[in-house]
Structure 1
Amino acid sequence: MTTTLPLRHRAEQLAASLPPLLVAAERVASTVAQGVHGRRRVGQGETFWQFRHYDMGDQPQSIDWRQSAKSDMVFVREMEWEAAQSVWIWRDTSASMSWSSDRNHQSKRERADLLTLALSVLLMRGGEHVALLGSGLRPSNSRANLSQTAVLLESENQADEELPQTLPLPRSAQIVLIGDFLAPLPDIDRTLRYYGESGVRGTILQVLDPAEESLPYDGRVNFEGLEEEAPWLVSRVESVRGDYAKRLQDQRDGLRDITRALGWGCDFHRSDQPPQAALLRLYTTLSQVLA
């Protein structure tokens, strides 16, 4: 437990510098007349909440065949935690995220972990239910959930994921993805479209090291990859700096195009910049996306 305290304390200090993030989420639009005893505030439990129409993205095992047999429509049983406004956060765990060009500032991984936990704190303060995507935890706004999230973020036993798995989420869910997003654009598009076409809305935050933006080296340099890429020996780095900058800009333009097509937000952050700035921009972006 002691190993999680530094990250958690730093995240809570960061979150304390901003007002609670109140996610501007729409009420679940799919409430059906067969719901139990009308509307009420959704709780955190696993008790039955309502029936609703089966929709694309729902799992077949969620179908309630007894209720469906009463009409020509197919219904699923929705539990309280599923009907609640939930926010799912994912951050990149690939090897490249552990790199830092300067030992005096955080690696991309450390910055992504801090922003993930700080955002969780803000969301929970606003009463939202939060979960780490792929963790197996259900959305909650409890202190226990925050502690478990901190433990998971600092765990060394994590799968190497440069993009999130395509997992079924409630249609009312919001998703926040934090990583370097240097994977091929078609792969990113495929993953984000899976969630977007399932009714999930969200935003992405690209986190890069300052050296990845500016390529500040000169002369002969041998670049070694962190994800089993072959070494790349460049005789004069300054001669390729312009082409490198264009490829990075093309990648970022592609990210903007992909997210714009889905109605999602997209932002960029450098790991040597204050984390408060990224957190505030993320808040603004989420407000615009979820309004």
Structure 2
Amino acid sequence: MQKTTGLLASSLIKLKNLQLTGKLVSEELMLGIHSSKRSGIGIEFEQYRHYEPGDDPKRIDWKLFARTNKHLVRESSTESDRQIRFVLDLSGSMNYTENGVSRLQYACILLASLAYLCYIQNDQMSLYGLKAGKVETISGAGSASSARQAFQKILVGLEKASAEGPWTTEGIEGFEFRTKKKEQLIFVSDFLQADDEWLSWIRSLAGPYREIVVFQLLGDRETDFDLKGFYRFRDLESARELELDAESAATAFRASMRSYLADLKTALQIPHVHLVRARMSEPIAQVLKAFLTRRKG
């Protein structure tokens, strides 16, 4: 069922400005978490709290006051030296669209929001794309002192991102993110694999010094399959087409999807890996808030 609270991706897309949408989602998220401690998914960000007597008025976020009519200040924080790597699936299935929102558009807003959190925390961050089984560096790692520049480069990369073709494992074997300190990999994908190519790669990457978060983005119709009548279905990666009566295939499809998602969840219950499953109809801040709250608990 579609959520009605928070900013929906369909509304954010109309702004046609990833920097603004990322900032709006992040502020909505920070206002929704009522804790004076920093929340960590690796991306540690400053929390907002209400102004109290004795606080320096200069710490008030006046731009936020103009929007909320509330005197809010940021909690102080220390710089993070952790490397955050965003990894975006750019295979053809990311073009899947529901209610005017493609999976790729949703993914880009989600990543822009996370990148904004990194920016205000002065985190090191970089962006990679997965296309045709290969890892492409879209925006390389930047130092904490150039968080703003890294943020802007990631936004440019997201704005130019396009999805096409099948996902294959050719060329990815042996690829390694090189680092000498703790880091976090944040994958954004539909995670609809033909075999176990995604699982195998993630298992090889996870470890004590590398935490992995997987955001799996799915459409309501992909999971519920509530279609009726004859449809021509087209595979967004292979371009193969199939005509069938959707209602007659619904029961088997839903059972297969439930089984796949359950098996995937079980397979990813390994150390240092976290699965976040989100529907494209959910407000992005709500998805991030639920995850952060669960991590804190």
1:23 lines up with 2:36 in the alignment: no
Quote the sequence identity (%).
Answer: 16
What is the total number of aligned residue pairs between the two structures? 225
1:229 shift after superposition:
4.2
1:217 lines up with 2:227 in the alignment: yes
Moved over 4 A (4+): 156-165, 285-288
Distance verdict in 2 for CA 1:84–1:169, change over 3 Å: farther
1:259 shift after superposition:
1.9
Root mean square deviation, CA, Å: 2.8
Partner residue, 2:126: 131
Partner residue, 2:242: 232
1:156 shift after superposition:
4.6
Deviates more, 1:258-267 or 1:164-173: 164-173
Contact 2:139 2:150 in 1 (8 A): no
| 1:192-211 correspondence runs (5 A) | 192-197=202-207, 199-211=209-221
Partner residue, 2:116: 121
**In structure 1, what residue type is equivalent to 2:157?**
L
Contact 2:41 2:292 in 1 (8 A): no
Distance verdict in 2 for CA 1:167–1:160, change over 3 Å: farther
Distance verdict in 2 for CA 1:247–1:208, change over 3 Å: same
Three-state SS of the structure 2 residue aligned to 1:154 is helix
Three-state SS of the structure 1 residue aligned to 2:186 is strand
Contact 2:139 2:154 in 1 (8 A): no
For structure 1, which runs of at least 5 residues remain unmatched after alignment? Answer: 26-82
Partner residue, 1:50: none
Three-state SS of the structure 2 residue aligned to 1:243 is helix
Q: Structure 1: how far apart are the matches of 2:115 and 2:150?
A: 10
Q: Structure 1: how far apart are the matches of 2:148 and 2:292?
A: 21
TM-score by length of 2: 0.67
TM-score by length of 1: 0.68
For structure 2, which runs of at least 5 residues remain unmatched after alignment? Answer: 1-14, 32-37, 43-79, 129-136
Q: Structure 2: how far apart are the matches of 1:145 and 1:284?
A: 27
Partner residue, 2:89: 92
| 1:1-291 correspondence runs (5 A) | 6-19=17-30, 22-23=39-40, 84-103=81-100, 106-133=101-128, 134-141=137-144, 142-156=147-161, 162=167, 165=172, 166-170=175-179, 171-197=181-207, 199-234=209-244, 236-284=245-293, 287=296
Three-state SS of the structure 1 residue aligned to 2:150 is helix
Distance verdict in 2 for CA 1:161–1:228, change over 3 Å: closer
Three-state SS of the structure 2 residue aligned to 1:194 is helix
Q: Structure 2: how far apart are the matches of 1:125 and 1:272?
A: 27
More strand by share: 2
Three-state SS of the structure 2 residue aligned to 1:216 is coil
Residue by residue, what CA displacement relative to the aligned partner does 1:61-81 show, whole Å, maximum 9, x if unpaired? xxxxxxxxxxxxxxxxxxxxx
1:109 shift after superposition:
0.5
Contact 1:87 1:130 in 2 (8 A): yes
Q: Choose 1 or 2 for highest CA Rg.
A: 1
Deviates more, 1:216-225 or 1:154-163: 154-163
